[in-house]
Amino acid sequence: MTETFVPPTRFAVPGRIAVSEQAASVWQTATLTGIRRETARATTFRFAVPGWPGHQPGQHLMVRLTAEDGYAAQRHYSIASAPDDSGHVELTLDHVEGGEVSGWFHTVARPGDQVEVRGPVSGFFAWPGDRPALLIGAGSGVVPLMSMVRHHRARNLTVPLRLLVSARSPEELVYAREFGAETTPVFTRSAPEGVPVGRMAAAHVAPLLAEQPSGGWEAYVCGSNSFAEHASRLLVTAGQPVERIRIERFG
Ligand SMILES: Cc1cc2nc3c(=O)[nH]c(=O)nc-3n(C[C@H](O)[C@H](O)[C@H](O)COP(=O)(O)OP(=O)(O)OC[C@H]3O[C@@H](n4cnc5c(N)ncnc54)[C@H](O)[C@@H]3O)c2cc1C
């Protein structure tokens, strides 16, 4: 790093890059090349990783920061960008109050800084792009789901994909300007005029399940522990088979 860190199974995907498990187990240098504010709390960090082995939408990586005295902190971060061959990956981090790693990124990191990354990790939450995907997220839980949405668009996939995303307010809806017809936002504290305010409910999930695409939905749920439990209960109640719900918990 230039800035010092001070502690306070293979699928057939159109165009998917093959991921070598050996490469994914090695720490690599990632150079920060861009910083993009998404909301008051969330920022996207773009990295050049020359040896990046490729990833599937939904996977995450490990970031390691090492201080001058050797103290190291490592955290998991979902990959926000779609798989491509640019040699870059993007992460979107919430600024956690008092957080060691997210705090460093939000207040210290500058383009040109270097960190270490290892990945991609976890094939379980990956969406190979070959089956209808029902994505449900809250807060920064939308990050791995956005990689899926971006992949769907970049490859012009025709397989059905829907995103149901919960945020406190329109101002806190990460990637708001990128969403299209596939996305239904749910606002829990404040909403634009005419849009109801409230927790994600059966009324949001049931119409999506009623679409019944050929082969059925594969559901991907991501967010805090409490949100993941709430959303998976809504899905099961609405008839989604429990073995077709994949959950990633950030909390
Ligand atoms: C698979 C996986 C993927 C993840 N992907 C993302 C991602 O894409 N974007 C992202 O922003 N985060 C993501 N996280 C969370 C991330 O790994 C860190 O936990 C988070 O950034 C906080 O780390 P920190 O070092 O800043 O805070 P720490 O120094 O670890 O914690 C500081 C304080 O904040 C509390 N805290 C820790 N995490 C949270 C949290 N998420 N919300 C509220 N309070 C918290 C701690 O209990 C502690 O009191 C992911 C986690 C997992 C397991």
The pLDDT value recorded for residue 251 is 75
The pLDDT value recorded for residue 14 is 43
Sorted by sequence, the CB contacts under 8 Å of residue 207 that are 6+ apart come out as none
Locate 144 and state its tokens: 């791995």
- List phi, psi (to 5°) of 30: -120, 130
To test the ligand 1 pocket, which listed residue (71, 96, 122) has its Cβ within 8 A of the most ligand atoms?
96
The pLDDT value recorded for residue 116 is 98
Residue nearest to atom 18 of ligand 1 (CA): 75
The pLDDT value recorded for residue 25 is 86
Q: Which domains does the chain have, with CATH numbers?
A: 21-121 (2.40.30.10), 133-249 (3.40.50.80)
| Residues with C-beta less than 6 Å from any ligand 1 atom | 60, 75-78, 92-94, 96, 98-103, 140, 143, 248, 250-251
CA 132 / ligand 1 centre spacing (Å): 29
CA 250 / ligand 1 centre spacing (Å): 7
- List phi, psi (to 5°) of 93: -115, 135
DSSP string of 47-104, one letter each residue? EE-TT-----TT-EEEEEEE-TTS-EEEEEEE--SPP-SSSEEEEEEE--TT-HHHHH
E runs forming strands in 133-217: 133-138, 161-167, 183-187
Provide the whole-model pTM: 0.92
CB 5 within 8 A of CB 67: yes
Q: Which residues of the chain have pLDDT under 50?
A: 9-17
